Amino acid sequence: MTDAAGTPPNGPPTGPTGASSRAEQIMRFIFTLRSKGVRDPAVLQAMERIDRGAFLRGVFAEHAYEDMPLPIACGQTISQPSVVALMTEALAVGPRDKVLEVGTGSGYQAAVLSLLARRVYTVERHRRLVSEARAVFDRLGLSNITAIAADGSFGLPEQAPFDRIIVTAAAEDAPGPLLAQLRTGGIMVLPVGQSDTVQSLIKVRKLETGMEYEELRTVRFVPLLEGMARD
Ligand code: SAH
């Protein structure tokens, strides 16, 4: 039997092609980010443009637009979108900036940054995550991201200095090599604190006169580990 109205027998109403449900999902996603305090229009626009589902596998992709961290390969996690947005906002990236991210993970944070910056270097200690993230960057046509398999606690000396540095794994303190690779006038955003407790998200400004630290909020990230992983 055909349904004359052309509406699906069950489930929420969708447009003729089902496209409106995705548009609605994104609208709700952006609304959630705003309600969590994200204000910068450029950041909200970047979050709207990058499909978080492209960085997730299997059933997890269905939850891409929910504001929660989700599992990715190698026992790691893709961060919660509101945390990605707030960290990106705190980083205050400009279109001429060269950015370093430590902790590529799925590649989602790097993708969001790539729409705001001139160039993004992202380093990750799991080679498998690096190659998977590169494949997604290629598929999405994000050509200003360079993903490198390396221990990011040492930064990326060959590309230093950086205008902005973001660390998406928690260390006890801001790593010295990263502070050294930040340009004067630059900003670094990172979680600090012990891995099994709540950490503080901090914003560091490198001034002529020294470092200025600002505590933003509490967060929970996987630890920044030493050396390369086996996979
Ligand atoms: N930014 C990611 C989420 C990061 S999860 C995203 O958008 O999906 C933190 C990542 O940091 C993990 O993948 C972990 O393997 C990586 N990591 C931990 N210590 C590291 C180190 N010393 N160097 C590089 N990457 C590291």
79 is catalytic: yes
Residues 6 or more apart from 157 whose CB is under 8 A from it? Answer: 177, 181
Instruction: Please indicate, yes or no, if residue 39 is contained in any of the structural domains.
Output: yes
Instruction: Please indicate, yes or no, if residue 102 is contained in any of the structural domains.
Output: yes
Q: Whose CA is nearest to atom 26 of ligand 1?
A: 103
In angstroms, rounded to a whole number, what is the distance separating the alpha carbons of residues 46 and 48? 5
Instruction: Please indicate, yes or no, if residue 89 is contained in any of the structural domains.
Output: yes
pLDDT class of 162 with cuts at 50, 70, 90? very high
Instruction: Please indicate, yes or no, if residue 181 is contained in any of the structural domains.
Output: yes
Q: What atom in ligand 1 is closest to the CA of residue 111?
A: 7
> Is residue 25's pLDDT more than 90?
yes
Place of tokens 């450029």: 42
Instruction: Please indicate, yes or no, if residue 154 is contained in any of the structural domains.
Output: yes
Query: Domain residues for 27?
Result: 15-219
Q: What is the CATH number of the domain that holds 195?
A: 3.40.50.150
Q: What is the mean pLDDT of the chain?
A: 93
Instruction: Note the pLDDT tens digit of each residue in 175-225.
Output: 999 999 999 999 999 999 986 778 999 999 999 999 999 999 999 999 999
Residues 6 or more apart from 48 whose CB is under 8 A from it? Answer: 26, 29, 30
Instruction: Please indicate, yes or no, if residue 7 is contained in any of the structural domains.
Output: no
- Residue ranges around ligand 1 (CB below 6 Å): 76-79, 102-103, 105-106, 108-109, 123-126, 129, 151-153, 168-169, 222, 224-225
For the segment 85-99, the average pLDDT, to the nearest whole number, is 98
Instruction: Note the pLDDT tens digit of each residue in 137-148.
Output: 999 999 999 999
AA identity, residue 92: A
What pLDDT is recorded for position 175? Answer: 97
Instruction: Please indicate, yes or no, if residue 164 is contained in any of the structural domains.
Output: yes
Instruction: Note the pLDDT tens digit of each residue in 193-202.
Output: 986 778 999 9
Instruction: Please indicate, yes or no, if residue 231 is contained in any of the structural domains.
Output: no
Residues 6 or more apart from 135 whose CB is under 8 A from it? Answer: none
Q: How many domains does the chain have?
A: 1
AA identity, residue 176: G
